[in-house]
A and B are shown apart, each in its own frame.
Chain A
Amino acid sequence: MIELPALGWQSIVIFVVFALSLLIATYCTYAERVIAAFLQDRVGPDRAGPYGLAQPLADAVKMFTKEEFFPGGANKALFVFGPCLAMITALMSSAVIPFGNIMNFGNNLFFLQGIEVNIGMLWVFGVVSLGVYGVMIGGWASNNKFSLLGAIRAASQNISYELAMGMALIAVLMISGTLSLRDITLQQSVAGEWHVWNIVKQPLGFIIFLVCAFAETNRTPFDLPECETELVGGYHTEYSSMKLGLYLFSEYVNIFVVSAVMSVLYFGGFNFPFQYELRDWFVSSQGWELASAQNLITLLGTVGLFLKIFAFIFFFMWIRWTLPRFRYDQLMRLGWTILIPLAVFNIVLTGGLILAGVI
């Protein structure tokens, strides 16, 4: 029986996850430019520090020291509240993601996860659906037509794609039978059996989820809310200084979280191939204790999960510098008349396959 984790330990985990999300988001801004440079055959940032690695630091200094600008007629309180809300909601969702299995010190078991709740997936979904408020409030409070149009686009886009995303999710939940992200991860790798990740059982669902993830995080080819060619800067036209920084930052945190969610749901989370064989090898051939071998496997699993997350983040950036932006009516048509019927079909198909005993 697993005893309840100590509150102190969990707060350390939450703090580390918080710091890691920020660090990864910081270096995403660097990675984005390096990848863009690579794809466009340019050099990219290389002035600040070795290989330009201090570039995010320089950007932060620049952001903080720029002038704080309030547009005339803006609703000041909401103008400040918007970016804060965007950042808060982006950071909240990583609380339930299992970044690793159990650590065993003495007889104390610790989860490498902020909080383990039996509604984990609903929590992520709920927080993601709140993410649009930051954009909407900021865009409206700017008292600018372009900002307002960006905010309205963001709202309708998020609502449309949430529907297809939720239904892609339902198919996963039908297989797993639980909403706990930890249980979903553990189900994808049972000792002594083939490690069948959910991507094998849900290829169509994964593609739907991936497309919706691009739309929910406002990334190209669905970054219509901040489309420069039509809306100047979209919802953050009037923002300057660190308030703009928070908006740009929250986008990267969102990408990190959604990559983590996709890794957990479809790519086995912290599981990696031959983990049980490796553990048994350490115990039988190297004479390790079972607990310390398990701890090592847990740490390796965490590294594996982060590799999966980085692969997804790279994919997001790769797409951004490869595909042009959709037109707004094309975006809506894709969401409502293609993705939603496909998602319904996926649910029916999954139900049929479960009944037939195939998956």
Chain B
Amino acid sequence: MSPIFLFLTFVALLSALGVVFAKNPVHSVLFLILTFFSLSGHYLLLNAQFLAAVNIIVYAGAIMVLFLFVIMFLNLNVDTEPHKPALAKIAAAVAGGSLLLILVAALKDVTPTGVAAGTAFNSQIGMVDQLGMKLYTDYLLPFELASVLFLVAMVGAVMLGKREVGERNF
């Protein structure tokens, strides 16, 4: 592993911990954005340029802006957060612990093999055109279904925002 990869991993883990431990929700969101950036850095090092760019655009650029928007809009602060009962804390710890257990159990027997012997390494595999060919040939139906879903969601948003008959905003 290259030093850059290790450094990015370090940043990703540290900022992911920051998301959980930050007292201020806005700081949490900013740490999460940093986590997405370091993940995109990993994608770049793994030769997946398109995935890296889309990760930035969709997650860091759009979804996290909405997160930040909502947090700012509701003005969530440490003072306004209600104190949670002990039962909820214990339940959360148990649930999180079980998830960790499952992940460890699932991943403990995995051996990283890298590229299987006999298959030539293809440096173009993560590029846009390769990905597009794959999506539009092997995975055409799921891809089109997902895009219809997005289109419907967008049309729905436009419909909700449309002016009703007789509605005035001023």
Contacts and interface: CB of A to CB of B under 8 A. Distances in A.
A and B are partners in one complex rather than unrelated chains: yes
A119 B65 contact: no
A156 B69 contact: yes
B51 to A, nearest CB: 10
A159 B66 contact: yes
Given A119-B49, A327-B170, A158 B127 contact: no
A356 B161 CA distance: 35
Contacts of B30: 78, 137
A132 interface: yes
Interface residues of B, number: 31
Interface in A190-232: none
Per DSSP, are chain A's interface residues mostly helix, strand or loop, or mixed?
A: helix
A269 to B, nearest CB: 20
A140 B72 contact: yes
Given A122-B50, A155-B69, A156-B69, A133 B33 contact: yes
A218 B54 CA distance: 24
Interface residues of A, number: 34
A178 B56 CA distance: 19
Contact of B61 (A78, A118, A130, A341): A130
Per DSSP, are chain B's interface residues mostly helix, strand or loop, or mixed?
A: helix
B89 interface: no
A119 B53 contact: yes
B11 interface: no
B127 A163 contact: no
Given A336-B161, A337-B158, A126 B69 contact: no
B26 interface: yes
14 contacts: A75-B24, A117-B49, A122-B57, A125-B57, A126-B57, A129-B65, A136-B65, A140-B72, A155-B66, A156-B69, A159-B62, A159-B66, A332-B161, A341-B158
